[in-house]
């Protein structure tokens, strides 16, 4: 019997779902190298490989067989060939712009454990999709809002979430589309550098985000009386400010978001919040000549009467702070801890912190590749973002399930 790859689900799975991988028809205790490849929408190649040895029966099941040293990872890691995918071009971030088409994953089995791949023994293809059957993608151009709404299958009402991305502009749909598969009506909201929105705003007006909240609450398929917010980085900061100043925000999950206003001032009606001062001379150079900017923003908790802190004590919402202990862009663990102390001092208990070791600034849904070094959003120089491969892969999976549980509970 010729070797073959057995996948479950066989042909297609959602990007955030596990994929069971096995190889059958090998020789007893045969040594093989498994390799996964995926090209993103720009054509950039991501790959991972691992060394394995088949069982006495010639079967190789990644759920039971540990990877041997020498590949992208070792040990018992059934999903290692997915979470260990790394760009062949350094410092490249995997983006999914068109969530209506799947990523195509290639799997190959080669003979032996050599430096170069041996003879090709088997290969398979698998689609990693972003939309479950029946999930609807609705472009939204209402008033000033520029967004995409993802609605779960059927006509019932679902809890509503607004997903707000970080610095970089544009419209990112990958997280919102995946959340809709789990039963949430999710609005991926752009706020600059998209269509007719400002290219580089001098100020962010919370009235724009309020319009998005009202749009969601008036939608016949969004279950009221309020909405949830999921924000990453600057989007986390904006989400926290929305909870402090706007009505009908029930729950906020902040992924490595600052708790003070950074880079672009925020305003609402007649109130304006200035930004933290940045001290670029405090940037450190790492061994690899890449800059570490973690000490550059001033500390809002050490400056008495700091005007940049978001007044979270005014918020009625529940807060989930998801922080990477190795975040080198925002001191997110420190920020979350200090702001929760302030809330506690006010007699509030509406917060929870999930803190992940070995996890940097970028926390994407499960199985997105680690992005430890990238361009700094303000200084536009190559910067350490932080994170370590295996720890990050575990954090992604755990945080994703916790985000869903948090919104199910509070919405």
Whole-number CA gyration radius for the chain: 23
Q: Exactly one of 72, 158, 233, 332 is catalytic; name it.
A: 233
Phi-psi region of 237 (alpha: psi -120 to 50; beta: other; left: phi over 0): alpha
Q: Exactly one of 327, 332, 364, 410 is catalytic; name it.
A: 327
Q: Exactly one of 174, 219, 361, 376 is catalytic; name it.
A: 361
Burial string for 101-130 (b: 16+ CB within 10 Å, else e) reads: ebbebebbbbbebeeeeeeebbebebebbb
Q: How far is CA 249 from CA 53, 242, 323, in A?
A: 53, 8, 21
Residues 124, 6: Cα–Cα separation, whole Å: 9
Pairing of strands 31-39, 103-111: antiparallel
Note if 327 is an active site residue: yes
Sign, Cα dihedral of 404, 232, 334, 398? positive
Note if 72 is an active site residue: no
Note if 294 is an active site residue: no
Any idea which residues carry the catalytic annotation?
Answer: 233, 327, 361
């Amino acid at each position: 019997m010729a070797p073959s790859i057995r996948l479950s689900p066989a042909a297609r799975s959602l990007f955030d779902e596990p994929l069971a991988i096995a190889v059958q028809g090998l020789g007893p205790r045969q040594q093989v190298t498994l390799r996964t490849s995926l090209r993103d929408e720009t054509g950039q190649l991501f790959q991972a490989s691992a060394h394995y040895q088949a069982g006495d029966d010639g079967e190789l099941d990644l759920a039971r067989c540990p990877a041997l040293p020498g590949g992208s990872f070792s040990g018992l890691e059934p999903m290692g060939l997915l979470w260990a995918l790394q760009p062949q071009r350094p410092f490249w971030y995997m983006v999914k712009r068109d969530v209506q088409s799947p990523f195509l994953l290639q799997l190959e089995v080669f003979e032996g454990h050599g430096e170069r791949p041996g003879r090709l023994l088997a290969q398979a293809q698998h689609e990693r999709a972003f939309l479950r059957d029946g999930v609807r993608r609705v472009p939204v151009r209402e008033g000033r809002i520029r967004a995409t709404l993802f609605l779960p299958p059927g006509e019932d009402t679902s809890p509503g979430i607004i997903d707000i991305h970080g610095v970089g502009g544009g419209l990112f749909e990958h997280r919102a589309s995946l959340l809709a598969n789990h039963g949430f009506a999710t609005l991926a909201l752009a706020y600059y550098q998209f269509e007719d929105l400002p290219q580089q705003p001098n100020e962010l007006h919370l009235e724009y985000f309020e319009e998005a909240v009202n749009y969601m609450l008036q939608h016949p398929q969004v279950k009221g009386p309020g909405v949830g917010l999921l924000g990453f980085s600057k989007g986390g900061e904006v989400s926290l400010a929305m909870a402090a100043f706007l009505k009908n925000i029930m729950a906020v999950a902040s992924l490595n978001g600052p708790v003070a206003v950074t880079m672009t001032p925020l305003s609402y009606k007649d109130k304006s919040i200035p930004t933290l001062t940045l001290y670029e001379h405090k940037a450190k150079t790492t061994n690899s000549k890449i800059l570490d900017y973690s000490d550059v923003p001033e500390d809002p908790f050490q400056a008495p009467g700091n005007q940049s802190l978001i007044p979270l004590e005014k918020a009625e919402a529940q807060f989930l702070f998801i922080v990477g202990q190795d975040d080198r862009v925002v001191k997110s663990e420190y920020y979350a801890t200090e702001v929760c102390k302030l809330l506690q001092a006010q007699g509030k208990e509406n917060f929870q912190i999930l803190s992940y070791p070995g996890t940097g600034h970028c926390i994407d849904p499960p199985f997105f590749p680690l992005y430890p070094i990238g361009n700094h959003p303000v200084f536009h120089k190559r910067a350490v973002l932080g994170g370590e491969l295996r720890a990050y892969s575990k954090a992604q999976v755990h945080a994703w399930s916790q985000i869903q549980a948090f919104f199910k509970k509070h919405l």
